[in-house]
Amino acid sequence: MSQTTIRTLTEQTPTRRSEHRAPGPRTTSSHRAGGNGPTDRPRPEAAARQGRPGELRRVFRLFSGYRRAMSVVGILIVASAVASLATPFLLRHILDESLPNRDTATTALLAGGMIAVAVITTALDVVQTRQSTIVGQSVMHDLRTTVYGHLQKLSLGFFTKTRTGEVQSRIANDIGSMQAVVTSTATTIVSNGTTVIASFAAMLALDWKLTMVSLVLLPLFVWISRKVGSMRRSIATSRQEKMADMSSMVAESLSVSGILLTKTMGRSAELSSTFAQNSADLADLETRSAMTGRWRQSSIGIIISILPAAIYLAAAFSVSGTTGVVSIGTLVAFTTLQGQLFRPMMSLLRTGVDLQTSLAMFRRVFDYLDLPIDIQESREPLMLNGSRGHLRFEDVSFGYPGTEQATLVGIDLDVRPGTHVAVVGATGSGKTTLGYLASRLYEPDEGRILLDGIALQDLAFADLAGAVGIVSQETYLLHSSIADNLRFAAPDATDDQLREAARGAQILDLVEGLPDGFDTVVGERGYRFSGGEKQRLAIARIILRNPPVLILDEATSALDTRTETAVSEALDQLSEGRTTLTIAHRLSTVRHADEIVVLDHGRIVERGTHEELLALDGRYVQLLAGATR
């Protein structure tokens, strides 16, 4: 991708905010987008309105990395436009000179010239179309990959509050709808603009008075086109939003989880009715978009059709008056040029209408590109050079956007290499948030987190991902084979390494017992497997990754006792020799941890071994009593 284009697309992305912030009430406007807080976040459009350059200027700057290729296209366009101007003058000479004088040789030569002009302009148009299409598709590729790459850099909070279908709609529907504009708009403007200028100059050369007659209605044409463009732009915004709603509904209701929920709740008929209504609304918007301004534009076509008659009438007055005689050849050449003038002129006006309509889609895409990247990689990251797995939290505080109460406050925690520390607490005490911060899915508002003495902000993303591995309660598997899912952690893993990882996760026998073995497709989100089997596949994936720090985020809380035992054995084997931070709901799974940390309302209230905490007879004992009821 062109580096210039990338800079153009992302030039407004704000830099990372300060790592430290004074405590106090938190508001949505002062925080990153996303989190586990309230879900009534503003749409991305609202977050990106201020300071954005004009969309039209920004659209044309998408082509800034392809100036040389566009110059070639421009040369081809100008050559074609200039060559096409020869035809009316050749025709005038035939009508005024060679035919009246019965000069067959000259007539044949001029007619041959007209044929040559047609062949040359056609060839130039084909080459120009190919070149402009290549440039346009390259710009589309840049835009798609830049949007996707930018979304990859956004924090977890953005995705917890944004519908997957809406993201898909902006990448697929919005960018797809812009394709025709991106691939043809620039060349259309240059081509038609060159033709209009050249035709206008040629018409002036033939008869300037008739030229003035031809242009008297041009301001009316421009006004009508601008009016239509403004109307269609408004409708296009509503249309794309409706398409995003439909994409979100399809993604949510036709997924495996959505179908299970719909069928078990008996809502299939209601959802079908809702989808039908949304589809009808979209069809109405499409019809309104197609018909908006149609009568106005048709009136322009009628006026253009009768303009030759006006020229003939003006010529008649010219012949009978005192302004001199207009020859038949000049009159025919002039009306031919008139067609060459108004056809591209109307095309330019239509392009303006289409461009205004497309600006609504460009705006939606630019809204995503303007979302700030709040967790950024250091420009000069420090290297780990083999992590020991020493994880430390120093006075860490954090709150989700839109919440006035902090989720974590003043966390001091030292997880030494090779030790097992468990974090327990009631629901909402901040246990999972601690794991998110340790893997830098979010950044603390205050304090810092270090890995082997290096602040996480100073580490390269790849080093951090290789050093810290997470096994969460909700296992996500790709709709692909078991082997592909395991190799997502280690693309270069051999078949033997896959088997060893599966053996370590205590799932090798199950996999090899399947008809297709490691080539078995797991289905969407792994629904072909039970919860315990999916968890063990996730453990095998982490084994391949082989991180020195392991975060177990309630990895067995949703499993039955028998399955939990199997998964726990796999986790125990995985934890050997690693620094392990276990976020636990079932306290029975962490009794043998080297240290147990008790969280209450975001603060550490107790810490110690199982026996030490029992002796305190405090919050930990209360949690144990609640778990055994």
Domains and CATH numbers, the chain: 3-11+44-369 (1.20.1560.10), 395-627 (3.40.50.300)
Predicted confidence band at 476 (pLDDT cuts at 50, 70, 90)?
A: confident
SS3 15: coil
3-class SS at 529?
coil
- The segment with the largest mean pLDDT, out of 137-141, 586-590, 615-619, is 615-619
CA-to-CA dists, residue 378 to 25, 90, 370, 456, 573, angstroms:
28, 67, 20, 10, 35
Structure confidence at residue 4 (pLDDT): 41
* pLDDT, greater one: 307 or 540: 540
* CA 542 – CA 564 distance, rounded (Å): 18
Distance, CA of 391 to CA of 393 (rounded, Å): 7
| Residue 579 and residue 419 in contact, taking contact as beta carbons nearer than 8 Å | yes
Using left for φ > 0, alpha for ψ between -120 and 50, and beta otherwise, residue 240 falls in alpha
What pLDDT is attached to residue 103?
85
209 with 314: CB under 8 angstroms? yes
Cα distance between residue 229 and residue 425, in whole Å = 59
pLDDT in tens, 43-82: 444 433 333 446 777 877 888 888 888 888 888 888 887 8
Q: Which two tokens stand for residue 48?
A: 């990106």
List, for residues 259-282, the tens digit of each pLDDT value: 656 666 677 787 788 878 877 887
Q: In what order do the strands lie in the sheet with 468-472?
A: 468-472, 549-553, 579-583, 420-425, 595-600, 603-608
pTM of the full predicted structure? 0.65
pLDDT of 391 above 80: yes
**Contact between 325 and 318 (Cβ < 8 Å):** yes
